[in-house]
A and B are shown apart, each in its own frame.
Chain A
């Protein structure tokens, strides 16, 4: 144990004194957070003009409108269906929402949900990609209202705050994304150190000392988890105190997800460099993997933006699920795939890469 502790301390010193390590693993994510935070948290340029047609100004319609008014990005216009569609045609509206006259019978509150759902028509300008975000947002708001309705005790007592969180302010969306990116890079690029130690035959020479080889790898992993914790702390503190991102999850949930994510990517990192003879070739392999992964995983923009033919790729890569997990835990958006799916697929990657690494890893 004392040997292990000393090794961890020595490895830590060796790593921290490498300015590149400190830059890439600590400073870079922080800079990223600041830079993109400033770009996306300033006065919102994004503004949607939403026409609302109220067929029957009942309590439901009133409370729904009240919810919509809370969303800063929306400017609401009320009018007849004809007028509003006209405005949409002239591009004066991004979308027109029709709140139908809902019959508040006992059926609607029936828990068995056998009754048909109420269709709420939304007309929108499909030529602009940005409007898809609006539709996504609206459906989130409806989901929210619906959840409220199914919970009898809380009918129509919606408070505005969660809707704000769900309205996908870019900086909110960005924070878990940056964290996911940082964890991925820490895990993948961090594995290069062992390749360096192997290439320089340092691993081989250490093999002639009583130091067990497993200690070397374990100390590497422990230090990476430590760095993951530091990254998380920095990014979340900056996000919260500088850019006012509301953190939904508890610390232990966030740290649990972060450590799990770090473990998955550390393991994948070692699998990727198993066959790399030099640090440079290892670096090349990792670049090829991490760069597309960053953009196809939806950690920086909603998956809805990606073309359909890429969906199978998106569905296969681990970063997608780590992003989903962190987003849900940190800022509280609903899971895109579900907590169980996220955990299962990430565990799958962890186990497969561990087995591959242990099977094929060479010490010299």
Chain B
């Protein structure tokens, strides 16, 4: 709590023991977090974990049942007018009049804010320049997604709240958006985003909170989170049945074995020794290896270890 208080001066977002219930369901359970100004902060978790509820409380669309929230020093409920002028919000539901063009939709949102970005600038960032005259109800899913992210950005707010901004985008478009977010970060913006893409959190976010069933189960930089949980590297064996688990567990250096989707992942502190023994096993025809990959442990592994489930389940 002391650290939380100390950093609050630089913080754009301060959340203390925030709780939200819907009937018997506790959607958000006593979460606390601080987002520093200029940081890209990711909230990572499966669908229904409480990410959207958290965002909606932070931007003043829902009221909390308990706890304290401050964004840019404003209370989102009582000071919502001041707050909304200095943030940008992208929700999963697009706020679009169907028969406006891309350009008109952006232009309209721009007029709500005191110091917006030029429409042309945002069109370029979002890769929508050649779609500017198109009616929004005729856009493809990916184009629509980019438009609503653009509508959140155009207000030039100090803090951006993006609820799953890259959902439905192809990898190319996703990487383009990451570049834009990093550019905005260089301009001094704070970005609070939710995602269920591990690689997005790992690549883009300075810090990540992993949320599951409404509670934060881990919080830190991606490297910290992985380092805390794993000294090991991961060895992925594809097309490997779970009947081999016992043998694999005995290999040198192996600390843990995860089986999922006909694939076995070994976590090893001595990768070389483990591999040598694996090849030996295959040579003795006690094991058939059809695919093998070695990688550093990722947030996916962290999530798997903490919850016992894959995030996409």
Contacts and interface: CB of A to CB of B under 8 A. Distances in A.
B100 A14 contact: yes
Interface stretch (B8-16, B91-99, B302-310): B91-99
Chain A interface size range: 20 to 34
A208 B84 CA distance: 7
A328 to B, nearest CB: 39
Interface residues of B, number: 25
Contacts of B84: 208-210
A161 interface: no
Interface stretch (B106-114, B181-189, B199-207, B272-280): B106-114
Interface stretch (A1-9, A93-101, A239-247, A342-350): A1-9
A324 to B, nearest CB: 38
A164 interface: no
B61 interface: yes
* Chain A contact residues: helix, strand, loop or mixed: helix
Interface string B56-77: 0001110000000000000000
A277 interface: no
B95 A205 contact: yes
B99 A13 contact: yes
B233 interface: no
* Chain B contact residues: helix, strand, loop or mixed: loop
A283 interface: no
Contacts of B61: 204, 207-208
B89 interface: yes
B287 to A, nearest CB: 53
Nearest to A200: B93
Contacts of B113: 209-210
A10 interface: yes
A313 to B, nearest CB: 39
B100 A205 contact: no
A202 to B, nearest CB: 5
B99 A209 contact: no
B97 A11 contact: yes
A173 B146 CA distance: 55
A217 interface: no
A112 interface: no
A7 B89 contact: no
Contact of B85 (A13, A14, A210): A210
A17 interface: yes
Contact of B97 (A14, A201, A210, A211): A14
The residue among B60, B94, B98, B111 with the most chain A CB atoms within 10 A of its own CB is B111
Interface of B: 59-61, 81, 84-85, 89, 91, 93-100, 104, 107-109, 111-113, 135, 155
Given A11-B97, A13-B104, A202-B96, 9 more contacts: A6-B107, A6-B108, A17-B99, A201-B95, A202-B93, A204-B95, A205-B93, A208-B61, A210-B85
